[in-house]
Amino acid sequence: LDGKDPRAPLASPIHADLTGLPPLLLQVGGIEVLLDDSTALKSRAKEAGVSVEMEVWDDMPHVWHHYAPILPEARKAIGKIGEFVLRHTG
């Protein structure tokens, strides 16, 4: 962060004003380094009146979606993202 405040909203959205955000889908791995932060973000968004869905995927690491060519769970998660987008935009 080059000396910048780690609590700045652009550095960590958990510290931002989340009011007015569209519905959120949080997909987080069960062994994700940011699992606690994702849970806190979900709480903060709900407090701001944002509709939030959070999926915790067992045994998945950070950015497991990147492994879609070899990981069935990643392909399934990406499919669920598409379903979420269609539900909220279609």
For residue range 34-64, list pLDDT tens digits in order: 999 999 999 999 999 999 999 999 999 999 9
| Predicted pLDDT at 46 | 98
Mean pLDDT of the chain: 96
**Residue matched to tokens 């962060």:** 1
Q: Nearest-CA neighbor of 86 among 25, 37, 29, 33?
A: 25
Question: What is the pTM (predicted TM-score) of this model?
Answer: 0.89
**CB 19 within 8 Å of CB 48:** yes
The structure tokens listed for 65 are 């979606």
What is the rounded distance in angstroms from the CA atom of residue 57 to the CA atom of residue 59?
Answer: 6
Q: How confident is the model at residue 88 (pLDDT cuts 50, 70, 90)?
A: very high
User: Which amino acid is it at 72?
Assistant: P
